Amino acid sequence: MQIKSDFLVIGSGIAGLSFALKAAKCGTVSLVTKREIRESATYYAQGGIAAVLGPDDSFEDHINDTLVAGAGLCDPKIVALTVKDGPARILELITLGARFSTKREGEEQRLDLGMEGCHSNRRIVHAGDFTGIEVENALVKAVLENPNIAVFENRIAVDLITHSKFVDDSGEEAVWGAYVLDKDTGKIGSFLARSTLLATGGAGKVYIYTTNPDVATGDGVAMAWRAGAPVVNMEFMQFHPTCLYHSKAKNFLISEALRGEGGILRLKNGEAFMARHHKMADLAPRDIVARAIDYELKQSGDDCVFLDMTSNSPGFIKERFPNIHENCLKFGIDMTKDLIPVVPAAHYTCGGIKTDSDGRTGLRGLYAIGECASTGLHGANRLASNSLLEGLVFADRAANAACALLDKEVEIPAIPEWQTGGAVNSDEAVIISQNWDEVRRFMWNYVGIVRSDKRLERARRRMKNLKEEINEYYWDFTMTSDLVELRNVATIAELIIKSASKRKESRGLHYNLDYPETDDEHFKKDTVLGGDE
232: enclosing H helix or E strand: strand 231-232
Average pLDDT of 492-498?
A: 97
Contact assessment for residue 195 and residue 402, using Cβ atoms and an 8 Å cutoff: yes
Cα pseudo-dihedral 179, 390, 239, 530, rounded to 10: 50
Contacts of 467 (CB under 8 A, 6+ apart): 490, 494
When divided into structural domains, the chain yields a total of: 1
Q: CA angle at residue 24 from 187 to 191, to 5 degrees?
A: 20
218: enclosing H helix or E strand: none
pLDDT band at 414 (very low <50, low <70, confident <90, very high): confident
Tell me what pLDDT residue 287 has: 83
Tell me how far apart the alpha carbons of residues 20 and 9 are, in angstroms, rounded to a whole number.
7
Contacts of 356 (CB under 8 A, 6+ apart): none
Would residue 255 count as lying in a domain?
yes
Would residue 356 count as lying in a domain?
no
Would residue 266 count as lying in a domain?
yes
Residues belonging to the active site: 286
DSSP string, 263-302: -EEE-TTS-B-GGGT-TTGGGS-HHHHHHHHHHHHHHH--
pLDDT band at 23 (very low <50, low <70, confident <90, very high): very high
229: enclosing H helix or E strand: none
Share of the chain above pLDDT 70, in %: 95
Tell me how far apart the alpha carbons of residues 321 and 334 are, in angstroms, rounded to a whole number.
12
Would residue 258 count as lying in a domain?
yes
- State the CATH number of the domain containing residue 284: 3.90.700.10
Would residue 322 count as lying in a domain?
yes
Contact assessment for residue 487 and residue 469, using Cβ atoms and an 8 Å cutoff: no
Tell me what pLDDT residue 520 has: 97
Tell me how far apart the alpha carbons of residues 377 and 393 are, in angstroms, rounded to a whole number.
11
Average pLDDT of 44-67?
A: 94
Contact assessment for residue 350 and residue 373, using Cβ atoms and an 8 Å cutoff: no
DSSP 411: P
Tell me how far apart the alpha carbons of residues 512 and 96 are, in angstroms, rounded to a whole number.
45
Average pLDDT of 156-162?
A: 95
Cα 439 to chain centroid distance, Å, stands at 19
Tell me how far apart the alpha carbons of residues 175 and 223 are, in angstroms, rounded to a whole number.
11
Average pLDDT of 34-51?
A: 91
Average pLDDT of 280-298?
A: 89
Would residue 483 count as lying in a domain?
no
Tell me what pLDDT residue 167 has: 47
pLDDT at 112 over 80: yes
Tell me how far apart the alpha carbons of residues 512 and 504 are, in angstroms, rounded to a whole number.
8
Tell me how far apart the alpha carbons of residues 419 and 417 are, in angstroms, rounded to a whole number.
6
Segment 246-270, tens digit of pLDDT: 888 877 889 888 998 999 999 999 9
The count of residues in the chain is 533
The closest alpha carbon to 529, from 374, 348, 383, belongs to 374
Tell me what pLDDT residue 350 has: 97
Contacts of 315 (CB under 8 A, 6+ apart): none
pLDDT at 422 over 70: no
Would residue 71 count as lying in a domain?
no
Average pLDDT of 231-259?
A: 90
Angle at which helix 430-446 crosses helix 453-476, to 10 degrees, equals: 160
Average pLDDT of 46-69?
A: 95
The closest alpha carbon to 474, from 301, 296, 222, belongs to 222
Tell me what pLDDT residue 425 has: 66
pLDDT at 29 over 70: yes
19: enclosing H helix or E strand: helix 14-23
pLDDT band at 306 (very low <50, low <70, confident <90, very high): very high
Would residue 37 count as lying in a domain?
no
Tell me how far apart the alpha carbons of residues 444 and 442 are, in angstroms, rounded to a whole number.
5
Contact assessment for residue 412 and residue 192, using Cβ atoms and an 8 Å cutoff: yes
503: enclosing H helix or E strand: none
Cα pseudo-dihedral 473, 475, 476, 478, rounded to 10: 100
b/e map 249-270, b = 16+ CB within 10 Å = bebbbbbbbbbbbebbbbbbee
pLDDT at 430 over 80: no
Tell me how far apart the alpha carbons of residues 190 and 179 are, in angstroms, rounded to a whole number.
5
Output the CA–CA distances (angstroms, integers) from residue 9 to 13, 22, 191, 204, 513, in the order listed. 11, 12, 10, 21, 41
The closest alpha carbon to 293, from 244, 251, 248, 241, belongs to 241
pLDDT band at 41 (very low <50, low <70, confident <90, very high): confident
Q: Which residue has the higher pLDDT, 108 or 172?
A: 108
The closest alpha carbon to 456, from 406, 509, 401, 493, belongs to 493
Contact assessment for residue 434 and residue 465, using Cβ atoms and an 8 Å cutoff: no
pLDDT at 171 over 60: no
The closest alpha carbon to 220, from 79, 86, 363, belongs to 363
Share of the chain above pLDDT 90, in %: 76
Average pLDDT of 376-403?
A: 96
The structure's pTM equals 0.91
DSSP 356: -
Please give the sequence-ordered ranges of beta strands (E in DSSP) within 65-152, or none if there are none. 102-105, 108-111, 124-125, 149-152
Instruction: Indicate the average pLDDT of the chain.
Output: 92
Q: Is the dihedral of CA 17, 22, 23, 25 positive or negative?
A: positive
What residue numbers bound the domain in which 250 lies?
Answer: 240-345
